[in-house]
Amino acid sequence: MLSIAHATTGAFIATKIPNPYLSIPLILASHFLEDYIPHWDVGQGLSKKNKGHKDAFLQELFTDFPASILLVFFFFQYGQPFSIYPWLGWFFALLPDFIEFPYLFLGWRFTPIKQLAAFHKYFHHSTPEKLKGLLPQVVLILLIYILR
């Protein structure tokens, strides 16, 4: 899924369940469960060589990643006193992708990252159809906005 979907989910969980011993495992599990849903993301096309690693990285860096920060801010911080919980949720929701970054973009294939990448790949179901792949993410983000 896009970072915006993972990040808003993580922030939502962390703000509703502020106990990190409960929220962090739930946030990490949500990442893999969300990736199980067929979705479109900026990495779409990397495995089939339809998109280069540089293009995917730049698209993530300059669109999806900053958008995830903005959504968490506007959903959970705007007009509120500062709280660390949405930002911890944001971080832990994206942590599996942060850890996998060197494997995907730098070619680092050492054991812990390689095992995480294999685990992540098991759950990851993407679709090249943008509408079909973006619709569940839009619905999820709207639902989080309503329930926050």
Q: How far apart are CA 1 and CA 136, in angstroms?
A: 9
CA 91 to chain CA centroid, nearest Å: 9
Selected residue with higher pLDDT from 43 and 148:
148
Residue 115 pLDDT greater than 50, yes or no:
yes
Q: Which residues contact 117 (CB under 8 A, 6 or more apart)?
A: 100, 103, 104
Q: Taking residues 127-136, what's their average pLDDT?
A: 92
* pLDDT tens digits, 36-46: 999 988 765 45
Secondary structure letter of residue 148 according to DSSP: -
Domain of residue 43: give its range.
3-147
Contact between residue 104 and residue 53 where contact means Cβ atoms under 8 Å apart: yes
Secondary structure letter of residue 137 according to DSSP: H
* pLDDT tens digits, 117-129: 889 889 989 888 9
Secondary structure letter of residue 125 according to DSSP: -
Q: How far apart are CA 15 and CA 11, in angstroms?
A: 6
- How many separate domains does the chain show? 1
Residue 133 pLDDT greater than 80, yes or no:
yes
* pLDDT tens digits, 38-76: 998 876 545 555 556 677 677 777 898 999 999 999 999
